[in-house]
Amino acid sequence: MKARVMVQVADRRLEEQEREIPKVGVDQALLKVEANGLCGSDVEQYKGHFVQKRLVEYPLIPGHEAVGVIAEIGADAAKSWGVKVGDRVALEPHLTCGRCPRCLQGSYHLCRSLLPIKQPPSYGYIPMSYGHGLWGGYSEYIHLHARTILHKLPPELPLELSTMYQAIAAGIRWSLHVPKTTFGDTVLILGPGQRGLGAVIACANAGVKQIIVTGLERDRRKLDLARAFGAHHTIVADRENVVERVMTITGGRGADVALDVTPGATQPVIDAINSVRNGGQVVLAGIKGGTKKVEIDTDTLVFREVSIKGLWTQGIDAYAQAIELLSRNYKKLAPMHTHEFPLSKVATAIEIMAGEHPGQEAISISIHPGR
């Protein structure tokens, strides 16, 4: 049997190919991909930034936000994952060794020891030269490694909305779990894209006292969605002074937590630092593309005891909570899902995600290999 796949062969070049599907071992499974979500990392991957940083190499099948049904499964895998043929599951991107210090500590997303390759082993970033090559979601099938971490999806959750589990899980870990946010806190979220909205959804469900979201004039629709999902205040960053507005809203105190999820822009990092209270926390999770540097007055951090933490993945608790939250609230959250495409149109989908098609405002995009 063969799988139809979209292979990235060069920067901004995806090619449709066929690839042989190997036999499934006792501790493996075959996932029939029904949907694959896109995020900023897909844009970075498409443009070739990860190859330039020597994190990945071509050719590879991208796609790290896959949802699908178990088409075939070995006896050991069925037992350890608790799933059977026909179950719909969402994948975590990471493949982990389960034995190194980082894995044993629970930080399995920082495991570097599984495969004999340099990059963090993760679906969507493993070259086709390694093993069977079917490692990405831009494909009809993914051959699941024994170390895969997956989550069973409830049948009532519509497929088109299911890929939003990634953005909401990011919001949960970045705005709640790591900064240990509680209901009395004020959280500033810089950037109203899917991760920013995921953070709004997380904070609103946790009863956070004040949720403030920044965006640009062109993000009006996303800022309206942020309010619909529970944000108390929105700031238009290219028209208003972000720090002044946050200080007015908080009575001069500042936010407890500031989360930057803006892609490319560096001013939000400075705004985040200047918007938190003394002893406040800044979480950086927006990818800046590696070329832009941010000048920080470190004395400010010292005298005000502000901490800065970089985060890039979600974690098992956040995924489980995101799927539960999404399943309960999908009707309300549906407007966040803006586009869906067949597999053959994935390049167009990524370009829309990157904002390269004027007039197309993307938040959550899914591609569907079965269509």
Q: Which residues bind Zn ion (CB under 5 A)?
A: 39, 41, 97, 100, 103, 111, 113
> Nearest-CB residue to Zn ion?
111
Residue 125 vs 330, nearer CB to Zn ion: 125
Cβ at position 71, least distance to Zn ion in Å: 23
Shortest distance, CB of residue 80 to Zn ion, whole angstroms? 17
Task: Return the number of the residue (58 or 312) whose C-beta is nearest Zn ion.
Answer: 312
User: In the complex, what is the shortest distance from the CB of residue 165 to Zn ion, in angstroms, rounded to a whole number?
Assistant: 11
Q: Closest CB to Zn ion among 100 and 354?
A: 100
Which residue lies nearer to Zn ion by CB, 41 or 250? 41
Contact indicator for 5, 45 with CB cutoff of 8 Å = no
Nearest-approach distance from CB 134 to Zn ion, in angstroms: 19
What's the CA gap between 66 and 23, in Å, rounded?
Answer: 21
CB atoms within 10 A of CB 348: 15
Question: Closest separation between CB of residue 210 and Zn ion, Å?
Answer: 28
To the nearest whole angstrom, how small is the minimum distance from the Cβ of residue 99 to Zn ion? 6
- Residue 339 forms beta bridges with which residues? 365
Kindly state the smallest distance separating residue 147's Cβ from Zn ion, in Å.
9
Q: Please, which residue, 162 or 234, has the CB nearer to Zn ion?
A: 162
- Return the number of the residue (38 or 246) whose C-beta is nearest Zn ion: 38
